[in-house]
Structure 1
């Protein structure tokens, strides 16, 4: 039989199949294309193989037999995890310097680091969100008490969330893949930025985005050039959202609600540009999210904006590839104008599916825990049944959300019938 070196991950698969799907040694040897002696050795090393796989060593083929090396790796790994729990960005140089300190200079070369990466399955990536600075008790209170109140008083189609995001509309990525020992140089970066206001509802519907740029009439604009785009374009000297622009946007939204004869709840963050005269818009109930918690409470931050930017980047890169014959990347990027960007913004936003939007709402616990027909039921959340029980004690005779609707009790169900 041809020699084959199994990885620790594959050996753990053998152990799982032997335990969960009782097979004899001969069957396993044929399935994994190894000798029966290899299967027997694997079965005898069950505990160390499982420990190695748990420690992230699934891609290597041999167990570490050097106990001193295993102990040293565990010490460095514990330090890395400690730094990660404190939000400290860790570079290869930091790991090497720490290794030199604790080993008195006997370890800590780049060659050691490359082997160490493989042994503990160390990955390089970017830090995500600002979770360490968030008060989780506030988030828990919002999810356990505020969200059930919102979901019991409002139908999905009347619950909206709006948020702004910045988009560097013609900036190329900084990181690149390159062939080893070859030069990988960069070109000029373009830092033009626009601000986009998005708004979605719990039902998965999208409103036309509001795009804020610096120029009121860019040179690339022509008569009715935005006619076929489902977005609104405004200008501001810094491409920022301010109270005047937000007030105008809310006014347009309110006018639409008047025509449709309905009332909505609008969830938004505590950005100072959102501080407007709320009494001017009686059909909109403003509900501000807890300060400093939007990365865990705002649905648009749950993946909707990320999905939009991913789709935009795909369209941007498609344009780059189609014109890659130019001498420099900057020559291609210079030809991209704000009108191109607006077309890509419109196309990217239209390509966001309703399923993506509803999943992001559910990811942050905006679902009816009392509705057993819904696929996102959270059986651990008992606040809503307790609230309904309290309502029954007030002699409202309502044991479910549908009962509340039937009684047309607008103190608890704030929406207008068409």
Structure 2
């Protein structure tokens, strides 16, 4: 049986103990072995001990402690109303426990505790008393605890209420973090992905003198996509969601189209239009279309009013010449890699070859259309992923696991046409990708209602709108890039129809197959074709270098047209159909439209069906059964055997790719395999 005396200094609440740090310091510890008694430690019994031994009997064993004089007295700070547990101060505790050794881990049921107090007595003579308190190191800091005056003849007692201000006991103060600081944190983390939270905290404190915690940094990085879209000049500390989001979306669509038509719009016109749109959207009557709401709407959409001066340039050749001169001067400060152009094209993706000349044998022409937006730089080294707009979100052919965004930028609305909201979303993503690469680029655009976006929202992309009646001459995409893309798509589509005829299947292309054809066609557009189209427009300050004499431009429009002519001869029912008629079928496909009031409301509601079918003809077709790992492995093994038997057609790299796919499917099948029971075996 051992007995210990402990003098401890507690300078924090028990519930503040974190990360193994205890707000308690043991000032003195003394241990005494009570049983079996040691002969060396026997001392004369005190009067109290003698009386206790008479009462308790021979099974009682006395123990002794000598408290050093330099230990502080028992001091307890008055706890606050919200404090729990032991109070701060100095306390003495005696603990008796049973153990084989002093350093053995003690169970609570084998020990007993007793708290005692050491009281300081102030003598009549003047004397200075000290208390040695060690906080975080072995150094001792002496400070006077009590002092008597010479003229006092009696003990002077005074109660003092002490309220220590410690960092751990302070109430947490909220720090308002501006949006541009959060954006800088996200950019720093993207540029230094391996940086720790402490490194990010030091970076913010060095630049903005803001002391942030690790949890705050983690919360900001969780919403990285949100803060990266904010402007560097945005110092707002609150990002509130508008009360009527659909109303503001519809109003912004109407404002974009009105600005594209050069219509004057004032605050009164905006409020009147907002009330009209709000009635169709079912906005509550209690909603106030106040001037304050209008100002916040303009701030969120970065709308500002300005005075108009003069008129547009005159039409004809003079306008084209003037536009080329202005563009050359504007683009002189940009590298050719940083000059981009974007354009849209309508595409009748399911059009059959005999439908290009009109109805045949009573069959109606298939006019299902999607909108494809293409974007590329002047050298053709950066072809952005195609933006495809379709009329529903999840067609039946997508099934459950297909993600269209892996193939293209997938967007949808009821009319399958480009709108200001879709363009704004794509433009913000394009600006973010340039910001991550630390590039400042310029984007050439048509002057259409869907493209009318506010340039103040962008940080690394400058918009340049081409004059209205000059795009056919100075827009590189209209100069031959889009035509080459359409020709490549039609060639792949016709090749697909040939395979369907050979397999005895109907000639048809669903939207899922069309997405792959769009991606493959855009990848086949050569950089030489793109450079030639930019050179033909004559808008660059320096022309791209021409191709080397030994290298030839691949997949030219003329070559593709000849391939289409050969394919048409292998398809039945295509007599009289020319490649030119097939390529011109998409020229009149609308890509954007002038919306009426109801059109803005419907687009704001996003009322396109999520699971609508592509056509009524496809509703009767059952979805294909998902392929199993075993079926996939057998098909790949057949493909591997065919590739090995035809070394002239397949290289060793392609064979290795097939072998890798076989290994991956075998691993998936092994993971999904399960052991069957004997009953299941005999049932088979």
Give me the TM-score of the superposition, normalised by structure 1.
Answer: 0.51
Q: Which residue of 2 aligns with 1:352?
A: 525
Any conservation in 2 of the 1:229–1:346 contact (CA below 8 Å)?
Answer: no
Distance 1:248 1:185, change over 3 A: same
Q: Is the 8 A contact 2:407 2:515 kept in 1?
A: no
Match of 1:361 in 2: 534
Separation in 1, partners of 2:356, 2:392: 32
Aligned partner of 1:168 in structure 2 is 348
Distance 2:545 2:515 in 1: 37
Change (3 A) 1:188 1:175: closer
CA distance in 2, matches of 1:260, 1:322: 43
User: Is residue 2:389 matched to residue 1:212?
Assistant: yes
> Retained in 2: the 8 A contact 1:159–1:201?
yes
CA gap of 1:350–1:374, structure 2 versus 1, over 3 A, is closer
User: What CA distance in whole angstroms lies between the structure 2 residues aligned with 1:223 and 1:241?
Assistant: 26
Seen in structure 2, the aligned counterparts of structure 1 residues 158 and 224 have a Cα distance that, compared at 3 Å, is farther
Shift of 1:287: 0.5
1:246–1:273 Cα contact (<8 Å) kept: yes
SS at structure 2 position matched to 1:225 = coil
SS, match of residue 353 in structure 2 = coil
Cα offset, 1:332, TM superposition: 2.4
Q: Alignment partner of 1:303: what SS?
A: helix
Stretch deviating more after TM superposition (185-194 or 154-163): 185-194
Matches of 2:327 and 2:356, distance apart in 1: 42
In the alignment, the residues of structure 2 paired with residue 312 and residue 340 of structure 1 have an alpha-carbon distance, to the nearest angstrom, of: 11
Change in CA separation of 1:196 and 1:267 when aligned onto 2, cut-off 3 Å: same
Determine which of 141, 146, 167 is the counterpart of 2:326. 146
Superposed, 1:375-414 pairs within 5 Å as 375=546
The equivalent of 2:446 in structure 1 is 269
Contact kept, 8 Å, 1:200 with 1:207, in 2: the verdict is: yes
Matches within 5 A, 1:300-315: 300-315=477-492
- DSSP-derived class of the 1:196 partner: strand
Counterpart position of 1:136 = 317
Q: What is the CA distance between 1:203 and its match in structure 2?
A: 1.7
Query: Is 1:200–2:376 an aligned residue pair?
Result: yes
Q: Specify every segment of 5 or more residues in structure 2 that has no aligned partner in the other structure, as ranges.
A: 1-313, 548-684
Which residue is 1:234 aligned to? 411
Q: Is residue 332 of structure 1 aligned with residue 506 of structure 2?
A: yes
Query: Quick check: which one's helix share is greater?
Result: 1
2:336 pairs, out of 136, 151, 156, with 156
Residue 293 to residue 174, structure 1, CA distance change in 2 (3 Å) = farther
Deviation at 1:174, TM superposition (A): 4.5
Per-residue CA deviation, residues 280-302 of structure 1 (Å, 9 max, x unaligned), is: 10211111001122111100001
- Decide whether aligned partners of structure 1 residues 289 and 209 sit closer, same or farther in structure 2, where only a CA change above 3 A counts: same
Cα deviation, 1:385-408, whole Å, max 9, x if unaligned, reads xxxxxxxxxxxxxxxxxxxxxxxx
Contact 1:160–1:264 (8 Å) recurs in 2: yes
Q: CA deviation at 1:277?
A: 2.1
The reply on whether 1:191 has 2:371 as its aligned counterpart is no
Partner Cα distance (2:509, 2:407) in 1: 20
Contact 1:214–1:237 (8 Å) recurs in 2: yes
Matched residues in 1 for 2:404 and 2:411: separation? Answer: 14
Q: Provide Cα deviations, 1:156-184, integer angstroms capped at 9, x if missing partner.
A: 0111101111001011235789xxxxxx8
Partner of 2:78: none
Q: What is the aligned-residue RMSD (CA, Å)?
A: 2.6
SS at structure 1 position matched to 2:345: strand
Whether contact under 8 Å (2:342, 2:376) holds in the other structure is yes
Give yes or no for contact 2:407–2:516 (8 Å, CA) kept in 1.
no
Counterpart CA distance in 1 for 2:379 and 2:369 is 30
Q: Encode CA deviations 1:197-234: one digit per residue, 9 max, x unaligned.
A: 11011121210011000010000003442468441111
Taking a change above 3 Å as real, the CA distance of residues 260 and 309 of structure 1, as seen in their structure-2 partners, is: same
Residues 51-66 of structure 1 aligned to structure 2 (within 5 Å): none
Pairing partner for 1:243 from 396, 401, 420: 420
CA 1:224 to 1:253, structure 2 compared with 1: closer, same or farther past 3 Å?
farther
Q: CA deviation at 1:187?
A: 3.5
Segments of structure 1 that go 5 or more residues without pairing to the other structure are 1-132, 178-183, 377-418
Q: SS state of the match for residue 496, structure 2?
A: helix
CA distance change for structure 1 residues 352 and 375 in 2, over 3 Å: closer, same or farther? Answer: closer
Over 3 Å counting, the alpha-carbon distance change for 1:323 and 1:195 in structure 2 is same
Counterpart secondary structure, 1:292: helix
